[in-house]
Amino acid sequence: MASRKKVALLFGGRSAEHDISLISASAVFKNLNPDKYQITCIYINREGNWRTVESPLTLRSSFDKGQFFSFLPWQTSSSSQKIDADIFFPVLHGPYGEDGSIQGLFELAGVPYVGATVLASALGMDKAVSKTLFLSEGLPVVHHKIYLESDFTKKPDSILESIQENFVCPFFIKPANLGSSIGITKVKKSNQILEALNLAFQNDRKIIVEEGIQGREIECSILGNDNPEASLPGEVIPHREFYDYRDKYIEGKTSFAIPANLPPSVTKEIQNAAIRAFIAIECSGMARVDFFIQEKTEKIFLSEINTIPGFTEISMYPKLWEISGLPFPALLDRLIMLGIERHRTIHQKSGRFRS
């Protein structure tokens, strides 16, 4: 037991995906082998303050009771609050957790952490920028346009006209920097556009309008650093119009085909595209890459990449690795090893970080 690695598990956070983070962290906590790891659980509230708690399984009403501390816990003078960890494991979905913010903090502190670096996190979080990068790499990205709230405020009629000229219903309007289907609308009639824009702009200053691909939703999990591997793909079969927030985390009526029923050649094509997307943003550790297969043409389209994918009990990321031969606890072992490996490599190359 004395040789157990000390893991600091971070969850909660300031984003609209705060509650999903708690669910994901609960699953990670339950699957971290206590014989291998000594776990310190750090809850970050919606204001961005930190507090150690017993576990993410604790009653949520107790999370906000007690003293919170500085967002630089390794610099605090109080020994009762100082975080002693061999590696930090952020399970923080959305802005301030998945966008490079917390990763930058870890880099400044010189501590190992699980998952993507600052650059990859920022690129993966901003779906507008990542789509531009994917296009430059020749990946088959869904037709889309990007709009800013400042332009919409100045010339709303011009934005509405642009959307109507470039897209045929149904299509999607979504925030550029958010996940878990928050703020997304499937626009089926033109009179829904204004309401959908207002909803998306409530969550981000930049939004994406994206062609609605009629067909199958496919997801593929990636694991690794410089030599990433792809899992078998899985298929999401939505209960409603699309796999929305309510069905993901409340109703749970969407079904899944794990693995997806695909010809071997299509499976290989999706795996290769997923790895290319992972490499394109210089990702490390983990990612889930989402695709569409168009019904009429059977063409494959890349939708987006998620650098901190869901880790709930029904989430695709761990389930796809399980069906590919890597159970949840072993997957977490690999992720921790990859984080330590990347930290050691960078430290040896640059001398920037403490060992």
Residues above pLDDT 70, as percent of the chain: 86
Question: What pLDDT is stored for residue 239 in this prediction?
Answer: 62
Question: What pLDDT is stored for residue 253 in this prediction?
Answer: 65
Please state, in angstroms and rounded to a whole number, the distance separating the CA atoms of residues 293 and 136: 21
Residue 307 has pLDDT above 80, yes or no: yes
Fold of 5-114: Rossmann fold (3.40.50)
Structure tokens belonging to residue 278:
């992972």
Question: What pLDDT is stored for residue 3 in this prediction?
Answer: 85
Tens digits of per-residue pLDDT, 59-69?
A: 666 777 777 66
Question: What pLDDT is stored for residue 353 in this prediction?
Answer: 46
Q: What do you get for the CA distance between the two ends of the chain, in Å?
A: 22
Given its phi and psi angles, is residue 332 left (phi above 0), alpha (psi -120 to 50 degrees) or beta?
alpha
Residue 255 has pLDDT above 80, yes or no: yes
Confidence of residue 108 (pLDDT cuts 50, 70, 90): confident
Residue 92 has pLDDT above 70, yes or no: yes
CATH number of 124-141+213-336: 3.30.470.20
Tell me the pLDDT of the chain averaged across its residues: 88
Question: What pLDDT is stored for residue 79 in this prediction?
Answer: 46
Find the mean pLDDT for residues 85-113: 93
Task: State which CATH number among 3.40.50.2300, 3.10.20.30, 3.30.1490.20, 3.40.640.10 fits the domain covering 144-211.
Answer: 3.30.1490.20
Residue 152 has pLDDT above 80, yes or no: yes
Cα→Cα distances 117→13, 308, 323, 341, Å: 18, 11, 27, 13
Map residue 186 onto helix, strand or coil: strand
Question: What pLDDT is stored for residue 355 in this prediction?
Answer: 41
Picking from 29-43, 71-85, 202-216, 305-319, which range would have the lowest pLDDT averaged per residue? 71-85
Please state, in angstroms and rounded to a whole number, the distance separating the CA atoms of residues 74 and 17: 26
Residue 33 has pLDDT above 90, yes or no: yes
Whole-model pTM: value is 0.87
Structure tokens belonging to residue 301:
């389209």
Find the mean pLDDT for residues 48-59: 86
Cβ-count burial of 59 within 10 angstroms (0-12 exposed, 13-18 middle, 19+ buried)? exposed
Sequence spans of domains, the chain: 5-114, 124-141+213-336, 144-211
Tens digits of per-residue pLDDT, 336-353?
A: 999 999 999 887 666 554
Confidence of residue 84 (pLDDT cuts 50, 70, 90): confident
